[in-house]
Amino acid sequence: MASGFFAILDDIAVLLDDVAMMSKVAAKKTAGILGDDLAVNAEKASGFASKREIPVLWAITKGSFLNKLIILPIAFLLSAFWPTGVIIILVLGGLYLAYEGAEKIYEFFFPHAHFTESLVAEGLTETEILAIEKERVKAAIVTDFILSVEIVIIALGSVVGQPLVSQIIVVSIIAIIATVGVYGIVALIVRMDEAGYKLIKSSKKEKSLKRSFGLLLVKALPIVIKSLTVIGTIALLLVAGGIFVHNLDFFHNLLPSIPSIIVEFIVGLVVGFLCLIVVMGFKKLFLRKKE
């Protein structure tokens, strides 16, 4: 009886050890998407009145958890009954990521006007502000859903072929980290300027360490968000390229003399711009038909 009990404990220890190792691999593969998720959500959560930032962020976080609860069971069913489907969705997700990365680069060189509705503008009633806020929260949750699908599928793709129990544990861990980690960091980022203003206000001396640090936090916020956007774009192309290189035979052993990270970036960039050209072509055709 005792030997059976210790055998079970040993099996559990082995399982946990395997899960820990697979979780590290999955975390590395999803790091690029998490970076983009962080950049996107930092942008989505900014622009609200100071007292509404945390409530809004909490509403988006709850929506993100709900997204994961919807996505995870579907992903596990695919893995159990149609593993090829995971690879197909992975490659389709790679196309979307490559397109998104290429679009961001194109937008940088050929920007077009964007309209951002301010929630701190004068003349808006409380009811109007709350209505705009609600719409922006919905839009953020929809964006999170798309990114969550990518995170879950990439994490699942890293453990395809492993026992189902291991898959469920590993992918669930990544999903929790993706939600808690990303939105926790976003909360810190969007409150940077508020913390800076408080330090400046509480400083009694014109030239003090507290005031200087407060000014640094205020000035650093837009730089941090822009930096995250750049890092996120590079990460998108790297992750997309990695998906194609590792899952499509055509890209296997492509440019073997060049480091794999550069190959993955080049593949992601080329495929991304091909997708962008196709999408832009369809948009122009659609506009012509409407005219």
Would you give per-residue pLDDT tens digits along the chain (291 residues)? 444 443 443 444 444 454 555 555 555 555 556 666 666 666 666 666 667 777 888 888 888 889 888 888 888 888 788 878 878 888 888 888 889 889 989 988 887 655 444 555 555 666 767 777 788 788 778 777 877 887 887 787 777 677 777 778 888 888 888 788 788 888 787 778 778 888 888 877 777 787 888 888 888 877 887 787 787 788 778 888 888 888 787 777 777 778 888 888 999 999 999 999 999 988 888 877 766
Model pTM? Answer: 0.69
Q: Residue 3: exposed, middle, or buried by beta-carbon count in 10 A (0-12, 13-18, 19+)?
A: exposed
| Measured distance CA(253)–CA(240) in Å, rounded | 17
Sequence-separated contacts (24+) of 245-253 with Cβ below 8 Å: 247/87, 247/90, 247/91, 247/94, 247/157, 248/91
Measure CA of the first residue to CA of the last residue in the chain; give whole Å: 80
**Domain spans of the chain, in order of start:** 2-290
| Measured distance CA(11)–CA(65) in Å, rounded | 31
| Measured distance CA(244)–CA(257) in Å, rounded | 18
Structure tokens at 203: 């400083």
Count, in order, helices (H) and strands (E) of the chain: 8, 0
| Measured distance CA(153)–CA(83) in Å, rounded | 11
| Measured distance CA(194)–CA(191) in Å, rounded | 5
